[in-house]
Structure 1
Amino acid sequence: MPKTTVTTPQPPAAVVAADAHWSATLQRLHNRQPAQSTLRLWEDSALKEAFNEVERRAARTALLAEAHPDDDAKRAAADAAAADLADAVQAADRVSVTLRFRALPGPAFEDLVEEHPPTPAQAEKDPGIEWNPKTFPAALIAAASVDGITPEQAAEFMATWGTADRADLFRGALGPQTERRGDLGKG
């Protein structure tokens, strides 16, 4: 049996000459982290709205303070709002659960879709359907979970939670799979 030689591909010399930083660029490409999403599930929607209002106020006052750097009152308001936000984040952690999801590597997402095709009845009802809506969401939630949600747990959540919470959970897992982080410039 002939000996197999593995070589590391090198960029073309012209590319290196044109961009002396190609090695650093290539290293950054190799070190890119997969897209990730965070889903915060609240025990009470009123608490969620109160938290969102504190977040909005902190953002507004920070922008105003930045736009008026010589205005001490605006800076004090921004500092107070930032302190309120820090307190709200700690309180939110006590009344909500945060789940994290990550983009699947390589063709794993497409493979998962292929493992959960729509049934003939589902495909007939919706000719554009890509996956089985009964089995795929739980499988994706488990596969994309950074926190270790098992397939059984994901299936349980999808079977027992309300419509909006199920949709949020599925969107949390689907988001990183479809997030576009590239920007095609004009030239």
Structure 2
Amino acid sequence: MEGLRTCQLQVVYQSGHPLTLFDRARTFALRINSAIKRRLVSRFSGIQEISAGGASVINRTANLLSSAHGGCFQPGELVEVLTAEEILRTLDGNNCCGKLQFMPGMWRFAGKRFTVLKPVKTMFDERAWKMVRVKDTLVLRDVICDGAELYDKEGCDRCCYYFWKTDWLRKVH
């Protein structure tokens, strides 16, 4: 079950593909919207948040991810990481599922339950300096890489979240 001793952040961009023209336009529009809101809030200090009725509006359907092992995942839901044997069935010869590598440090979470923090739809590829779109990937609350045995004896101290394919998770009912 041991694989390469690399950081998942170094290879996670391989699981994605370039943003479409629509994605780039949407990202640009979201950035403009965010900048306008920030400027309005700073100009009118009495306004704490610009939203419908003073409460945040959340589009729950935009944050759904589906899986072969248990339906859709939403932030805040309880999921169980598959057992080591079940995970091995999803991996290819490079310890990857959909080009996302299952890292050696992730094995200790097999069979345990966690809460979904958020789905990952796009990420920034630091090597190519561009955004990439990823599919069926999410982040679990408090499931962080400890960096042990990465690079050298000292390890890594970045404390990054692991990225999880939905195929590695099962929804808890």
TM over 0.5: no
Identify which of structures 1 and 2 has the higher relative contact order when contacts are C-alpha pairs closer than 8 Å and 6+ apart.
2
Give 1 or 2: higher strand fraction. 2
Looking at CA atoms only, which structure, 1 or 2, has the larger radius of gyration? 1
TM-score norm. by structure 2 comes to 0.29
TM-score norm. by structure 1 comes to 0.27
Give 1 or 2: higher helix fraction. 1
